[in-house]
Structure 1
Amino acid sequence: MCNISEDVISIQEVLQTPVDDGFKPTPLKLGTDHQLAILSTSGSTGNQKAVVVTNSRAILCGFTQLTTEDVQYASSGMDWALGLYTIVTSGVFSTRRIISEKPFDPSETLRIIDQYQVTWVMQPPGQVAAIVNCPDFEKANLQSLRYYIYTGGRCTMEVQGKLRQRIDSGVMNFGFGLSETASFSSLNWHYDAKPNSVGRPSPGYKLKIINDQGESLGPNEEGEVCLNTGSFWPGYYKNPKATDEVYKNSWLHSGDLGYMDDDGFLYIVDRKKDVLKYAANKYYPHEVEDIISGMPGVLEVCAFGIWNMQGGDAPAANVVLMPSVHISEQDVEDYVAQHANTEFLRLHAGCLFINDLKRSPNGKTNRAANKDHFLRTKGVQIDS
C-alpha cells in the first residue's frame, strides 16, 4: 500500500509474529461500547463531521451471508464506512479482501472482478453509473458476483436496468446506511419485486418515520427516517452540539425523508434540508431528478435551486448523458416542461451537460459542488 508511515508495521510482519501459547486478548474495558474507529461523514449536504464508531455487532448487519469462499472488493478508504465494513467483515468471516492502490476506475474495477473472481462488491451509485457506462462493461465477465451492493444515494432506473441485464436479480442489492451507524440499516434482497427500495430494516434495527411534530407515521406516509440500533452511539467526535441535534432518546434522526410501504420496505426520497421553494411552492430536488431520469439517454442527474428575487429557488440541473447520445440542453428543458405536472418544477434556471457529476471524496453526489459548477460555467449571478 502507498502513503503508509514508516513506523507502521506491515500485514506481513503481523502474520509472521509468533503467538505465545495460551495467548488471550485483553478484554475491552467498555465492551461493545468501546471505540472502534472514527469515520468521516460524506459532507454531501454540509460540512464533514467525525463520527465515533463503537465495537458493536451492529457493524455486521447485512453481511451474514458472507462465507470463507467470498472475495470482497470496495474502492473505499478506511475513513469511510464502506472501507471499515470490508476490513472488519473480512476478518470476522475470513473472506478474501482485494485492495487496490489505484483510485476508482471502471475498467480497472471490471478487471479486478474478473481476475480475482470477486463475489461481493460495494459501491456508491456514481461508481455504478461509471461501470455501466464503461466501454468494457458489455463484455466484462461478471459471473463470479453473488452480491452487488450499491448505497449512498439515488441511482437512476436506466442505470439499474443496464446493470440488471448483466447480472441476476438476487445479485443486485440497494442498501441504506449512515456513517453514524457504521452498518447497513437496511438492504433490499428482492430487487425485481421492489426495484427502488432499500429494503426492510436489518436484524436488530428499529425504524420509524416521523412528521415535523415527532409523531410516528403509517405506511406510505412520507417523513424523516429515524433509526434505533439497540446499541450505544458516542456521537460526533468532540462535537456534543451536533450529536444532540440528531441523537435523541436513543433514536438517530437521519435527516433523510422516506416512507415504508405496506410490506415494510423502506424508500428514501430526499434529504430533509434540501427542500426548496419556487413561486410559493415547496419542492425537493428528487422531483426534478425523477423527471429527467426518465428521459432516454440520461445517465445521471443532480438537481438544485438557483435563487432569484422573482420566484425563489428556480429549478436547475446538471445532466450526464450516455455515450453516443445526441440531444441538446434545450431538449432536456423541453422534456421536463412536457412531463412535469406543475409549472414550478420546470427547469426555469436551465440545465448543464457535464461529463461527470461533482462528488464527495467517498463517491457520493455533492449537490452543493454541482450547483457551484453550474453557476461558474453558466456565469450566473445570484440575486441578493
Structure 2
Amino acid sequence: MKFGTKTIHAGVEPDPSTGAIMTPIFQTSTYIQRSPGDHKGYEYSRTHNPTRTALQNNLAALENGKHGLCFSSGLGAIDAIIKLLNPGDEVISTNDLYGGSYRIFTKVFERYGIKFHFISMEEPKNIEKYINENTKLIWAETPTNPMMNIIDIEEIGKVAKKHKLLFGVDNTFATPFLQNPLDLGADLVMHSVTKYLGGHSDVVMGAIVVNDDQLAEQLAFIQNACGATPGPQDCFLVLRGIKTLHLRMERHCQNGKAIAEFLKTQEKVDKVYWPGFEDHPNHDIAKKQMRDFGGMISFTLKGNKIEDANKILENLHYFSLAESLGGVESLCGHPASMTHASIPKEEREKVGLVDSLIRLSVGIEDVEDLKEDLAGALAKLS
C-alpha cells in the first residue's frame, strides 16, 4: 500500500454496526460486560477505546511499524519512554532538541537518578565515547528543533545495535511522509501528533510506534497504568487530519523551499537553516534518509539583536506569533524566549540558538503572500 493510500485506509475499517465509513467517536468511559471478563477487548477507555485503536493502527502503518500507542501529548509519550528506564540508567541525547524534552529530562527524570548526556550527533562515531555499562537509550531528533540539524539515523542505529541500546527518534518535524526511522534502525519513533499529523492546530496528542512485541507490551502497560491517554474526540480529529497528510506535506515542502530561498536573498538576514540547502550540515544525509526537506526553517539576523527579532515577529501578519508548528497556517516563534526558554542561555548558544533566531513553520497558504509578509516585516528594521 502506497503512503497516500495508507493515510486514507490503513488501520481504518467501516463501523460494523452501521457501515459508517468514518470511524465513529466512541464517547464512552466504560463498556458493558455480559459476565466478568467478557468484554471483547474493551472494558475501560483509559485502557482501550475503539476510536483510539483505529488511530493507533493507522499511525503504526504510516511508520511501517507493528504497534502504535497514543498519549495525551508528545511529552506524555516521551514520559512513557523514559519510564522504561531505572534509577542509575543513562541516556545519550542530541544537544539540540525541543525545550520541553530537555526540561522533562533534566527537571523531572534527573531527580529520579537517570543521567542525561547532551551531545552533538552530527558525527555518529562521537557517540561511542559516552557509552558505558549504564547507558540504556540513545535519543535523537532529526531535523532538530530549532537548528534543523540532520542526524544519520542508519549509522546511529548501527551504534545502538552494537551496544544493545534502545534507539528512539523524535520524527515530529519530518513526519512519516518524509522519513521512517524504524526502517533505518530505530527501535522507537515518537511524534508530537499535535503538529503535522493533526495538522490543524486543534488537538494536543503524542504517539509512539514500535515493532518489538515486548517493547510494545511494556509501553502499553505504562500507557494504561500512568493514564496519559487521549480522548476519542481528539483521536477522531487526528484520524481526519491524517487523511490529508500527504497533500499537506507536499505543499509544506514546496512553500518551505520557496521561503528558505527567499530569506537567503534578504540583506538583513544572516543565516538560514533549512536542510535542503547543499551547504547545510549533513545535507547529503538528509537527501539520503528524507524524501523532501520539510516546511520548518530557522533564520538569524545580522547584528543578532533580540529587539530586531521582536520587531519582525510583531510585524508579521500571515505568520502568526504562537507556540507550536505543523498546522495549515504559517506560524513564527522566538525559541530563546518561547519553546526553548527552559534551556540555559549558554547551552542554547552552544548550538547556535542565539537571541535573534526566528523559527518559521511554513504553512500551505499562497507562497507569494508569505514572501510579501516577510519582506514587509524585514523592511521595518532600520
More strand by share: 1
The interval holding the TM-score normalised by the smaller chain is: 0.3 to 0.5
TM-score normalised according to structure 2 size:
0.36
